[in-house]
């Protein structure tokens, strides 16, 4: 080009035009995103309600909340706080200054959303999904709708184990919130939390799905939480977590917080789980759960190597309850469950939920690995009752180990609830040893070593000696009537 100056001006002009177009395009994209959130709020808000609960305090003075498992919570001793509004776990409940102590009342506030029952709408009645802890011991429940109407509500049913409750009001014209499919949620998806934090009605916050399938948090008995960074605060409990299609994909339940407020980590019950339990509460007033009758534990890499299978290939059966559905179906201790109802088995919490939601009396299929071979087993699901709860939990997880043992005499067998000739008892655990580090305690009964029954101390020593070159030992132990596998390495 004859005039390079003109060329430079043209290039700068084109670059400037490109930057302006890019800026305009970015702003337009943000504008459309904002409109999407506004559309979700407009669509979902009429179904979200404000809940206020009144009740008598359980004692004249409420001190600081003490977790049922002491201070050992999954996040370094931090309490996963519930959302009780004025009645936060580490504060005294609300007191009316002019009333005597006997007449004092607690006031809690939270959220909920209208649910369309599986059996169809009931004229003159609206069902509301919320948290069980919100309405526990309530003397009076008041519900305020987005249109300003207020109603007294009554509890249709509660399930404290999952923290799901349904309440009902005598009202027409309250739109139910459409339900999504929480099993299809992916990490990174946009979600919207709607509720009443600190009593500020119909507040909307936006974030993403941070994780799915969160279990073993110690919040509920049945856990499979959605984790989100959408801001959730006291008063949001029971409110919906909504996707961009305006569908509820979860119910907000708990936060991890040092201050009692938002810190970027919130948890919601997946709507598939919450709705299934809610419909049972509406239809029957109680929840009936399925039951297998097995103690299960995570298949750690050490355990997987001991059984000669791939890590995370399934869930290990540590114990089969006598006369249980599992026993009648022929499941064995040491089987690894790899599929249930045609779906692969992964996390223990999710498997436990799947079993609990399976209708009792129904016939289902389990696929297990036994001695390296896949076996398909038909099983009739039983009904879980309180006396069978132990068979549903995860066996305590193994760490590592090392010890001294003694043959079980009749006297020792009676002392430790064992049978003579079936196992050896740990009589000493050396501090700092493999056994101590694994958590083995005096009084633990070792039933098997490397899947071989041990009847005497000599049997045990023989198996340990034979395993010395592998530097690995698989134990089946019994402590406090609970059996579990422990894989030792040294």
Q: Could you state, in order of their start, the residue ranges of all structural domains in the chain?
A: 47-287, 290-391, 404-489
> Rounded to the nearest 5°, which phi and psi values hold at 347?
-70, 140
194 beta partners = 204
Q: What is the mean pLDDT of residues 304-321?
A: 81
CA–CA separation, 289 vs 281, rounded Å?
12
Per-residue pLDDT of 194-218, as tens digits, reads 988 887 778 889 999 998 887 766 5
Listed ranges 19-33, 65-79, 332-346; the one with the highest mean pLDDT? 332-346
Per-residue pLDDT tens digits for 101-116? 445 567 888 999 999 9
Measured between alpha carbons, how far is 435 from 414 in angstroms, rounded to an integer?
A: 24
pLDDT-derived band at 13 (thresholds 50, 70, 90) equals low
Distance between CA atoms of residues 88 and 261, nearest Å: 10
Q: Is 219 exposed, middle or buried (0-12, 13-18, 19+ CB in 10 A)?
A: buried
Pick the CATH number of 290-391 from 2.170.130.10, 3.40.50.1100, 2.30.42.10, 2.40.10.330: 2.30.42.10
Take residue 339 and report the two structure tokens written for it. Answer: 């599929």
30 backbone dihedrals φ, ψ, rounded to 5°? -65, -40
State the pLDDT at residue 8.
47
Range in 224-228, 391-395, 435-439, 484-488 the model is least confident about: 391-395
Global model pTM greater than 0.85: no
The model's pLDDT over 412-462, given as tens digits with 9 standing for 90+, comes to 777 777 888 888 888 767 766 767 667 777 788 888 888 888 888 778 877
**Lowest model confidence (mean pLDDT) among 140-154, 312-326, 390-404:** 390-404
Q: Tell me the β-bridge partners of 80.
A: 256
Active site residues: 133, 163, 237
Angle at 372 between CA 366 and CA 378, to 5 degrees: 20
The domain 47-287 is placed in CATH, from the list 1.10.275.10, 3.40.50.300, 1.10.357.10, 2.40.10.120, at 2.40.10.120
CA 57 – CA 52 distance, rounded (Å): 15
Q: How confident is the model at residue 3 (pLDDT cuts 50, 70, 90)?
A: low
Which pLDDT value is given to residue 258?
Answer: 62
Stretch 174-201: mean pLDDT, rounded?
90
Q: Which residue has the tokens 């009739």?
A: 380
Does the 404-489 domain belong in CATH 2.60.40.10?
no
- Please list the alpha-helical segments (H only) found in 285-368: 301-307, 325-329, 348-356
Domains 290-391 and 404-489 agree in fold:
yes
DSSP designation for 260: S
């Amino acid at each position: 080009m004859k005039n390079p100056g003109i060329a430079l001006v043209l290039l700068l002009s084109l670059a400037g035009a490109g930057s302006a177009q890019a800026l305009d395009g970015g702003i337009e994209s943000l504008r459309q995103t904002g409109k999407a959130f506004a559309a979700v709020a407009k669509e979902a808000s009429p179904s979200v309600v404000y809940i206020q609960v009144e009740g008598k305090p359980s004692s004249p003075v409420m001190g600081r909340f003490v977790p049922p498992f002491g201070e050992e919570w999954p996040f370094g001793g931090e309490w996963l706080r519930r959302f009780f509004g004025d009645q936060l776990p580490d504060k005294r409940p609300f007191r009316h200054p002019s009333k005597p102590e006997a007449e004092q009342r607690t006031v809690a506030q939270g959220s909920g959303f209208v649910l369309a029952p599986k059996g169809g709408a009931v004229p003159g009645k609206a069902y509301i999904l919320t948290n069980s802890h919100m309405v526990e011991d309530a003397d009076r429940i008041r519900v305020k709708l987005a249109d300003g109407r207020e109603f007294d509500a009554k509890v249709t049913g509660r399930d404290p184990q999952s923290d799901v409750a349904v309440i009902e009001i005598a009202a027409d014209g309250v739109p139910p919130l459409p339900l999504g499919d929480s099993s299809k949620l992916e990490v990174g998806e946009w979600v919207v939390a709607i509720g009443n934090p600190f009593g500020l009605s119909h507040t909307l916050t936006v974030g993403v799905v941070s994780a799915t399938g969160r279990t073993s948090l110690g919040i509920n008995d049945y856990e499979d939480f959605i984790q989100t960074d959408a801001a959730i605060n006291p008063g949001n409990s029971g409110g919906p977590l909504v996707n961009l299609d305006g569908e509820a994909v979860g119910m907000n339940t708990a936060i991890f917080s040092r201050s009692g407020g938002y810190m970027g980590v919130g948890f919601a019950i997946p709507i598939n789980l919450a709705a299934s339990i809610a419909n049972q509460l509406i239809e029957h007033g109680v929840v009936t759960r399925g039951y297998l009758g097995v103690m299960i534990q995570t298949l750690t890499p050490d355990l997987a190597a001991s059984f000669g299978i791939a890590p995370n290939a399934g869930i290990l059966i540590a114990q089969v309850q006598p006369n249980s559905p599992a026993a009648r179906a022929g499941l064995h201790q040491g089987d690894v469950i790899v599929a249930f109802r045609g779906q692969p088995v992964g996390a223990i919490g999710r498997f436990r939920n799947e079993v609990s939601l399976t209708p009792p009396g129904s016939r289902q299929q389990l696929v297990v690995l036994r001695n390296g071979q896949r076996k398909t087993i038909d099983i009739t699901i039983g009904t879980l009752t309180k006396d069978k709860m132990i068979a549903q939990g995860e066996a305590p997880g193994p760490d590592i180990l090392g010890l001294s043992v003694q043959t079980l005499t009749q006297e020792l067998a009676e002392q430790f609830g064992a049978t003579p000739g079936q196992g050896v008892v740990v009589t000493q655990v050396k501090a700092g040893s493999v056994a101590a580090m694994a958590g083995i305690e005096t009084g633990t009964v070792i039933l098997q070593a490397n899947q071989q029954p041990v009847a005497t101390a000599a049997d045990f020593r023989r198996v340990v000696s034979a395993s010395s070159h592998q530097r690995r030992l698989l134990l089946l132990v019994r402590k406090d009537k609970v059996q579990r596998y422990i894989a030792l390495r040294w």
